[in-house]
Amino acid sequence: MADIPTLELLDGGRIPAMGLGTSKHKGVEGAALFARAIEDGYRLIDTAAQYGNELSVGQGVKDSRVEREQLFITTKIAGGDQGTGATTHGLEGSLRRLGVDYVDLTLIHWPNPSRGLYLQTWEELIKLRERGLTKHIGVSNFLPHQIEELEAQTGVLPVLNQIQLSPIIARKDLRSFHASKAIVTEAWRPLGPVENLLGQVLVENIASEVGKSPAQVVLRWAVQSGILPIPVSSKPQRNAENLQVFDFELSDDHMRALDLLDTSDRFVWDPMSHEEW
């Protein structure tokens, strides 16, 4: 079983340095996949109301027989649950479906700026944290000016921003902003399937040199860059393999070469126009 290090959150908490994404899986098969991943060593499990799989995640947690206190469960407030009152209803619904009394981290899934409700949602999440329904609060797919607004209006920064990120979508400016605020950068789609990242000759060559898979090379790039990746796979063996990135390091030359794959924001879903409910 992999020994997963942790990262410090700005509120003093700690979070595993890699997690399991769950967005594509649900039902009985999903529950079995999640239970197996937990048994294989995953402790950070990332879900969302919008994924429609919180019941399966909850069942997987139960079936894994790992104590709840050993797990770090993240869920997200959907666009339709933003705003005063609705946010509480949304999180309470997530807790019921997950079968837990609290989650470790609750994120606002997308800012959905056309609704103008993310500040209200943030204010309510602060209260829900005080009630103990969530230990930590953060955001997903937010831009710097939106995070600065949350801080200016409430005095509370998100501990984490989960964003689309891979070597091809490196988001360097946003990561620098996060670092200046001690916000953890978490990556969804860290293996960049849309950009055919794992098929890049450079990635394959580095994998051959270090005796690891292309996916492990890319995930190691994230870890060494201070990024928390949450890869998704339907294959238990692949999930287990993805965890095996804490027993080797990439050289400075490897890291620089992978950094050069960045295509800026070419493949990014723009959170000023892309909204989800």
The catalytic residue positions are 51
3-state helix, strand, coil in the chain (%, to 5): 45, 15, 40
The arrangement of strands across the sheet holding 44-46 comes to 20-21, 44-46, 72-77, 103-108, 134-140, 160-164, 184-188, 227-229
117's tokens: 């409700």
Amino acid at 74: T
Q: Looking at the DSSP assignment, which residues form a beta bridge with residue 105?
A: 74, 136
User: Which among 233, 209, 213, 214 is positioned nearest to 167, based on CA atoms?
Assistant: 214
Cα radius of gyration (the chain): 18
